Structures are given as structure tokens and as C-alpha cells.
């Protein structure tokens, strides 16, 4: 696990730029440092709930409060979106905590105080800033598996989100075939082109498991290879230690499963000029 302060990490995560094109383009500077991140911990300040807009012409970011800035309700998928940063109205690190109802009161009472957040470092073009209502970001800590807040460490159960937010994935997504990436090693810059400006978040997919690495004692995420006959594709899948999916993987007695997972852009492969999606397992069920 790698640890950061918001003061160090947030400026890097908010340094990417967008262009409406055509084609639509996202440029990520200092990419090699980000490519190796998976399970991370970041400390900073719990900000009031804010969103960031990104001007396509100038790439200027502007943060504004969402409502009165309170954490009054969870999202439709059951997640709590919270802003971890340095100072209110500066661009923040987006974080998503599952099954959040029990945490709302604690978060509201802790606004402006120090928070330490542990979870999966994720990249996806779900809200990059092309749309006016985006909370513009391509990097996030999602899912959060633990927070240190209000004088205590609180483990978070990473589990199945609200059913209506899960998308069956039984055919290739057109966007995956359109996006291209190139890496400029001299400038340490990734350039992605051809995205729609949105992506699919939670997915459910059926397939077969092989090459399992549990990493029970090492602390690194467990991993396995997953092949989906419906998609005709193979994926690298990760499971954060201490969450439901890692326990399910250890107890698995068959190679055929139905999995709920989060899509993630594989930045290590992007450094090789390949646009590849890997997955973070949330729930693994024997088929």
C-alpha cells in the first residue's frame, strides 16, 4: 500500500487536460507515477461536498458547493461521494464509499477535519468534464475500504451496490473499441483519444477464472485472470484484501462465476500504448 498527502497527490490527479476535438482528447501528464498505484491511503481534509467544472477551452477548474455542502444523502447506487482535499474550493480527490447511510451523520460532523482514506486507486472516463454537470475527474479512490475520521478507524464493507446501478455486460462496449492511447516517454505523458465522455461504472459479467494469486500474507491485492465467453475477452481482475470479494475468491470451488465489478483503465498497459480495461471485483458468485 502506498501513502500520500492530499497536498502531494491532488495536484497530480487534477493536472489532466481535455479537448473537445474532434476527436475528444484527454492528456495525462506525469503518468508513470500514477500507473503503479492500486491500494492507496491518502490523508487530507474532509471538505464540504463540492463539484468541479472544467472549461474545455481553457482547462480552468472551478469548484463550487453542491447544495449547502452537506453530506445529507447517499447516491442512487448507495455510495457516498466525498471530497478529500487541502482547502475548500480547490480541486479535490474524489472518493466513493459504499453503503453509506450509516456514515452520513459522522461525515457531516467531521467536515473541515482531518481524514485518512484507504481504497482502490481507479481511473475511468466516467465524468472527465466534457459535460456541464460533471464533477470533473478521471481518478478517484473507489471503493473506499477504510477511513480514519472522528477519532477512530472505520472499516467499510465493500459489497454489492444498489441493483439498479449494476449494468449487465454481455456484449462489447463500443467506446472500448474507439479509444486509443499513446505514451510519450520523453514527456511522461499519456494521450487518450476517441472517448464518448462517459463510461460504465458497476458491471455484472459471467465467465471463467484461472491463474489465481491470493497474496494472503503480502497485503497486495489478490488477482486472477477472467475470461468472458460472451465478450470474447480476457481481463486481469483485482480484489482488495479484507473485502468480501477476496474472501469469496479464497473459498471458490469452481472456475465458473458471475462477478460484480468496477471497470478500471489499466494505466500500466497504457504506458505500452494499449487501451485495456481491468476489473476490481466487488462480489464473486459461483455460477
Distance CA 32, CA 6 (A): 19
SS3 state at 6:
helix
- Model pLDDT, residue 2: 93
CATH of the domain at 214: 2.40.50.140
Which string of b and e fits 87-113 if b means at least 16 CB within 10 Å?
Answer: ebebbbbbbbbbbbeebeeebeebbee
Structure confidence at residue 198 (pLDDT): 81
Domain that holds residue 272: 199-286
In a domain, 173, yes or no: no
- Which of 103, 128, 155 is a domain's end point? 155
- Is the pLDDT at 87 greater than 90, yes or no? yes
Rounded to a whole number of angstroms, the CA Rg of the chain reads 18
Give the three-class secondary structure for 93: strand
Asked whether residue 127 is assigned to any structural domain, the reply reads: yes
Contact 116, 105 (CB under 8 A): no
Tell me which residue of 98, 79, 114, 178 sits closest to 146, measured CA to CA: 98
Average pLDDT over residues 100-112: 93
Whole-model pTM: value is 0.96
Residue range 222-242, pLDDT digits in tens: 999 999 999 999 999 999 999
C-alpha cell at 238: 483485482
CA-to-CA distance for 200 and 52, rounded, in angstroms?
A: 20
Angle at the Cα of 71 from the Cα atoms of 66 and 72, rounded to 5 degrees = 100
Instruction: Give the number of domains in the chain.
Output: 2
- Residues 272 and 143 reside in one and the same domain: no
Work out the angle at residue 283's Cα, subtended by the Cα atoms of residues 224 and 223, and round it to the nearest 5 degrees.
Answer: 15
CB atoms within 10 A of CB 208: 16
Residue 213, classed as helix, strand or coil, is strand
| pLDDT of 200 over the 80 cut | yes
**Predicted local distance difference test score (pLDDT) of residue 23:** 94
Amino acid at each position: 500500500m502506498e501513502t500520500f498527502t492530499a497536498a502531494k497527490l491532488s495536484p497530480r490527479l487534477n493536472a489532466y487536460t481535455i479537448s473537445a476535438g474532434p476527436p475528444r482528447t484527454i492528456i495525462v501528464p506525469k503518468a508513470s507515477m500514477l500507473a503503479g498505484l492500486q491500494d492507496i491511503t491518502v490523508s487530507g481534509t474532509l471538505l464540504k461536498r463540492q463539484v468541479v467544472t472544467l472549461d474545455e477551452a481553457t482547462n480552468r477548474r472551478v469548484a463550487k458547493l453542491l447544495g449547502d455542502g452537506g453530506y445529507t444523502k447517499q447516491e442512487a447506487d448507495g455510495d457516498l461521494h466525498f471530497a478529500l482535499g487541502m482547502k475548500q474550493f480547490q480541486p479535490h480527490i474524489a472518493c466513493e464509499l459504499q453503503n453509506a447511510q450509516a456514515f452520513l451523520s459522522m461525515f457531516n460532523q467531521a467536515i473541515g477535519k482531518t481524514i485518512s482514506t484507504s481504497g482502490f486507486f481507479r481511473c475511468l472516463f466516467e465524468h472527465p468534464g466534457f459535460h456541464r454537470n460533471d464533477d470533473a475527474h478521471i481518478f478517484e479512490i473507489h471503493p473506499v475500504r477504510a477511513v480514519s475520521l472522528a477519532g477512530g478507524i472505520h472499516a467499510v464493507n465493500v459489497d454489492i451496490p444498489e441493483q439498479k446501478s449494476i449494468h449487465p455486460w454481455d456484449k462489447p462496449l463500443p467506446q472500448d473499441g474507439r479509444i486509443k492511447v499513446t505514451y510519450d516517454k520523453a514527456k511522461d505523458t499519456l494521450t487518450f483519444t476517441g472517448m464518448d465522455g462517459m463510461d460504465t461504472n458497476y458491471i455484472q459479467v459471467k465467465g471463467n477464472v484461472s491463474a489465481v494469486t491470493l497474496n494472503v500474507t503480502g497485503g497486495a491485492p489478490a488477482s486472477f485472470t477472467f475470461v468472458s465467453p460472451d465478450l470474447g475477452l480476457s481481463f486481469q481482475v483485482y480484489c482488495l484484501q479484507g473485502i468480501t470479494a477476496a474472501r469469496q475468491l479464497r473459498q471458490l470451488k469452481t472456475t465458473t462465476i458471475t462477478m460484480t465489478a468496477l471497470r478500471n483503465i489499466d494505466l500500466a498497459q497504457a504506458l505500452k500504448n494499449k487501451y485495456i480495461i481491468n476489473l476490481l471485483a466487488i462480489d464473486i458468485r459461483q455460477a
